[in-house]
Chains A and B, each alone.
Chain A
Amino acid sequence: MAERTLSSLVPPVLEVRALSKTYSDGDRSLTVLDNIHLSVAPGETCAIVGPSGSGKTTLLGLCAGLDDATSGSVQLDGETLETLSQDARAALRGRSVGFVFQNFQLIPTLTALENVLVPMELRGESGGFAEAEALLSKVGLGKRLTHYPHQLSGGEQQRVALARAFVRPPRILFADEPTGNLDAITSETLVEMLFALNRENGTALVLVTHDPALAARARRVVRMHAGRIIADERP
């Protein structure tokens, strides 16, 4: 109950209003997201679940300003995304957003360590090697620092991607099936890390997952179906 009151007092870190996304290909059009309303408070943990193709990745992309909505608005960390230029959105992401992709998205020409360092470098911070190394060791890749993405397995790549997201704690972290490629044990470590990040730094988590166990750990579960939110549960 206390948390509820808190969340209604502080401004949300993410506020989605009447968001719709339609892909039109010639004369056919496909509505992927239909009138979505969603509000995430600072430090909240929220799992988005739903069948494949229901629009989860699309929603995440729109929330992080990676794409433009057809209608509706997104407020992220106090800024209205529609009014921002691409560069301003990028800057906002650099400041306060973390992203873990369904398909890893490491930079193929950089080593594992360099991939982790990129967000810091983009912020203009020098050093950070020690932190990045420690982080990679924590996800079990202490010996693979200088390996390139194509030399790593899918799960290993995913762990590098997580380390990259954690290296500077963001205000909100979007994770698209972060444990999709991982075995149970590694998966457990990662989930621990995610929630530790949430506890220690107050990073809000928005997780898309098919894993009921992971979903269960979140304070809030949003169910999607065919582009709509059909349930918003706080068990």
Chain B
Amino acid sequence: MQPLPTSLVRALFHPWAWRMAWRDSRSQRGRLALYAVSIAVGICALTAIHALRASVRQSLDTQTKNLLGTDVLVSSRQPIAQDPLVNLSSLITETGSETAFSSMLSDPSGAHSRLVQVRALEGGFPFGTTVDTVPVGAWQSLQEQHGILLDPALLAEFDVHPGDKLKLGATEFTVLGEVTKGVPRSNRFSGFASEAFIRLKDLPSTGLAGSQSLVFHHLFLELRPGTEAERKAALAEVRKSFSLKGVQIQTPEDRSETFGEGIDKAKEFLSITALTALVLGGIGVAGAIHTHIRRRVPTVAVLLCLGCPASLAFAVYMVQAATLGLMGTVLGAGLGAFAHAALVHFAGNSLPFNVAAMPQPLVILETAGAGFLLCCGFALLPLLRIRDISPTATLNARSEKVPGRSLREAGVYLLLFGLVWSVARLNGANSLRALALTASLGVAFASLTATAFGLMKFTRWIIRPSWPYLLRQGVSNLFRPQNQTLLFLLSLGLGTFLLLTTWFTQSLVLSQLKIDNGPSTPNLYLVDVQPDQTRTVRAVFEAEHLPVLEDAPMVTMRIESVKGLLLSAIEKQPQNASSLPEAKPTQRVPRWVMEREYRSTYRTTLNATETVLAGAWPPTPFVAGAPVPISLEQQLAKDLKVGVGDEIVLDVQGVPLRAVVACVRKVDWSKFNLNFFMVFPPGVLEDAPQFHLLTTRVPSGQTSGALQRTLLRAAPNVSVVDLTSILATVASLLQKAARVIQLLAGFTLAAGLPILAGALLNGRDQRLRESVLLRTLGASEQQVRAIVLVEYAALGALSELAGSLLAVGAQWAAARWIFKTPHAFETGPVLVALAISIGGSVLAGRTLSRSVCSKTPLDVLRQG
């Protein structure tokens, strides 16, 4: 006789555990299949969400990428040596280059001319997007023939049409058409200057290159597609290869500010939904195993009596749970892949993004693996009860707390905590955010448990013998031994919490994915308006019934010195930092930040898109002779490495001006209001040469061509910048992101409801036997139903209320700390959830009372 294994690991591999697990499942196949299906639903949702997520993430990245038009943008004031590309050839699929500068564009007679941003291009830039032109195909024509493409405003201004000629430098170019959408700006600070595109190889003939003071050279690099990690590694390699003096490297992420934080939040939402689906699945698993184990208490007690070690008994059910989990996982992963394929097949065209017909096997494998682990983790929670079962249960039906239980339980909770945390991490949250998400789940779990116990105490206290019998019986079911209050609150309550949170988070994200394109958002800018022309311009607007939304004075200036260091001195600083491979190239003040022209305004107030980060605005009044307090935009302050109190000397068109940073502002560049890097207080710049910038809003759908011509006749030097197409582009991108979010939220809800329905049915057994006993004792079907309904409706309503309360709290926290938006309480979803959960509970109660009356009592009583 060989000794039975007492260690869990050995018990798990003991053949008897497997044989017993198999036999024990025999009479329960149908029920167990149902459990496997509920696991499968969770895994299916998870697989589908994960499979979509890869595509969604990619599409969001593409949207951001469209802002830059390339994976990597290398910029310099000097021509960029292309030798590093030889070493990078394995990482890069396509390249392009650009030389950009400001120059005068004029009509062939030279009568009318205007300063434009010339962009001489070569290669396939922009990558991955199409450029919209009028006439269609003009962008391709530019690759093949000598010519020029213009911003729409320039065509209106020169009153030229495709085929006409315009002169740039020494050469005449044929106008090929207008660029309406799709060429990202390479110079972040080129401001609103209208753009003109030519071929790089036509540039020398103009004789302009080299003569300009402010020439920018750009190199566009398209990286080989790969995983996030590969991309990061490739990027690091590129940075290293181009870590030369004066070279700046940008990636699409640097540009995503145009979208506001919406896209980032959308990505964050993805990780929250995946986590939600996973935990929902976990609830399903835990509920199913819990019910299963409850029915197995007598069996385990007998096994213990017959000399079976506790760990071997545990192993029997662990084996069962793991097998169920495995079957559910395989089934779920298959269903998930199928659901994905079906979605792509039937709705692929209406999806806002491109999706591969089949999810990647690796994604499925990863998801299934994580799902299976989590499934086992959640199963451990009810399985622990087996360790609590004492052989005494064979003598009288009760089980005592076994010493050591709380320690084991703590271990399991810790394990679950770690699992959920790592899944959150895998889904892209940073460690702290993952911790916060996991902790909030923990808090929800703990509060629901506390609510359950509170509820039991409360009902026990409130119940009165004078209540009608059916009500009394139904309510006392909430606290009597073997009650399902905790089960309901944990499954239904937690489920409601998760689903409502998904919904709430969705609406928070959606609110951030809207750009303000209302009547107060400007879409037409008037640049270079002389102070004495503002009245004329205002009159034109008035005649056209257009509002003047903003009118800001602008003064051009340069930076002379920062914190006492002259520009020339900064340039001469040894740049050894950049020669160290690990040093970030941003550690020095980029030269172009120092050299560029700043157009600053003066005003006392901040507008709605600005928030003070440090210092205060308006500043305290300053005495004549003291440095002028100014406000800097945060990124500029960071680039200049200055903070509140630091001194900057500015060169205001030849006159030095001492200024001190009094305020650092955050500017929401995603809004299309007038925003400036530097803001002065009134009383300093009034006498400097200046011009005005006015904004208005043209009703949507109306072209601004006629208006532009009227304006040009009234004030010939004024430039008009039409933003309607940019606004439309951004709006459509955000709308796509919003649809993605809605789709995923819908998916999670659709998967969550059946899981919760399963949880409701799990508790059924508990009441079945008892209801049958009541039937045997002479209760009518009506009475049985009433008792069950009172209990189920009460539990449904209370679980929902507790879950909603938690969800509202979570929404408040998310709005405050994650999304940083004001929080609006939504009653609608809470009421819908209330209706669904009471309805669902009542329905579950009805099924129960029906099955009570459909089986013969003897059958049920014999089953034990």
Contact = CB atoms under 8 A, between A and B. Distances in A.
Nearest to B1: A123
Interface string A133-165: 000000000000000111000000000000010
Interface string B293-325: 000001101111111111100000000000000
Nearest to B28: A109
B311 A87 contact: yes
B310 A107 contact: no
A87 B27 contact: no
Interface string B474-496: 00000000000000000000000
Interface string B564-585: 0000000000000000000000
A95 interface: yes
Contact of B27 (A57, A66, A90, A109): A109
Contacts of B24: 107, 109-110
Given A108-B864, A109-B28, A122 B394 contact: no
Contacts of A87: 6, 309-311
A166 interface: no
B16 interface: yes
A82 interface: no
B713 interface: no
A93 B305 contact: yes
Given A124-B1, A124-B2, A119 B307 contact: yes
Contacts of B304: 86, 90
B589 to A, nearest CB: 71
Given A66-B390, A105-B298, A110-B23, A99 B1 contact: no
A83 to B, nearest CB: 15
A42 to B, nearest CB: 20
B298 A108 contact: yes
A125 interface: yes
Contact of A67 (B16, B28, B298, B392): B392
A8 B394 CA distance: 33
Contacts of B3: 91, 124
B4 interface: yes
Interface in A32-69: 57-58, 60-61, 64-67
B229 interface: no
Nearest to B19: A121
B310 A90 contact: yes
Contacts of A92: 307
Interface in B1-19: 1-4, 6, 16, 19
B350 interface: no
B201 interface: no
Contact of B16 (A86, A91, A122): A122
Interface in B22-38: 23-28
B16 A121 contact: yes
Nearest to A86: B310
Contact of B307 (A93, A148, A149): A93
Nearest to A121: B16
B: interface residue count bin: 35 or more
Contacts of B863: 108, 150
A97 B394 CA distance: 15
Given A86-B310, A119-B307, A121-B16, A150 B395 contact: no
Contacts of B464: none
A61 B398 CA distance: 14
Interface string B387-412: 00011101110000010000000000
Nearest to A114: B23
A95 B864 CA distance: 29
A67 B864 contact: no
B855 interface: no
Nearest to B6: A87
A109 B26 contact: yes
Contacts of A74: none
B391 A66 contact: yes
Contacts of B16: 121-122, 124
B302 A94 contact: no
Nearest to B306: A119
Contacts of B27: 108-109, 148
B545 interface: no
Nearest to A165: B306
A125 B26 contact: no
A155 B864 CA distance: 16
Given A87-B310, A122-B308, A150-B864, A107 B299 contact: yes
Interface in A107-130: 107-110, 114, 118-119, 121-125
A109 B395 contact: no
Contact of B305 (A99, A102, A124): A99
A118 B303 CA distance: 8
A57 B396 CA distance: 9
A59 to B, nearest CB: 11
A108 B307 contact: no
Given A93-B305, A108-B863, A58 B298 contact: no
A57 B307 CA distance: 19
Interface in B245-303: 298-299, 301-303
A150 to B, nearest CB: 4
A221 interface: no
Contacts of A93: 305-307
B862 interface: yes
A124 B19 CA distance: 13
Interface in B686-714: none
B307 A61 contact: no
Contacts of B6: 87
Contacts of A90: 304, 307-310, 391
Contacts of A66: 305, 390-392, 394-395
B305 A109 contact: no
A94 B308 contact: yes
**Which of A57, A66, A102 counts the most chain B CB atoms within 10 A?**
A66
Given A90-B307, A94-B307, A61 B395 contact: yes
Nearest to A85: B6
Contacts of A105: 298, 301-302, 305, 394
Nearest to B391: A66
A61 B310 CA distance: 18
A66 B311 CA distance: 17
Contacts of B19: 121
Nearest to A58: B395
A117 B643 CA distance: 82
A225 B27 CA distance: 43
Given A66-B390, A67-B392, A109-B299, A91 B307 contact: yes
B391 A107 contact: no
A169 B309 CA distance: 20
A106 interface: yes
B307 A95 contact: yes
Contact of A122 (B306, B310, B392, B396): B306
A90 B305 CA distance: 6
Contacts of B306: 93-94, 99, 118-119, 122, 164
A148 B863 CA distance: 10
Given A119-B307, A122-B16, A122-B306, A109 B392 contact: no
A148 B303 CA distance: 17
A106 B396 CA distance: 15
Nearest to B393: A66
For A60, A87, A102, the residue with the greatest tally of chain B CB atoms inside 10 Å of its CB is A87
A16 B27 CA distance: 41
A102 B25 CA distance: 26
B1 to A, nearest CB: 5
Given A105-B298, A109-B24, 11 more contacts: A65-B391, A67-B392, A86-B310, A99-B394, A107-B302, A119-B307, A121-B19, A122-B306, A122-B307, A149-B864, A150-B864
The 5 closest A-B pairs by CB, nearest first: A94-B307, A66-B391, A67-B392, A124-B2, A150-B862
5 contacts: A87-B6, A91-B307, A107-B299, A118-B306, A121-B19
Interface of B: 1-4, 6, 16, 19-20, 23-28, 298-299, 301-311, 390-392, 394-396, 402, 862-864
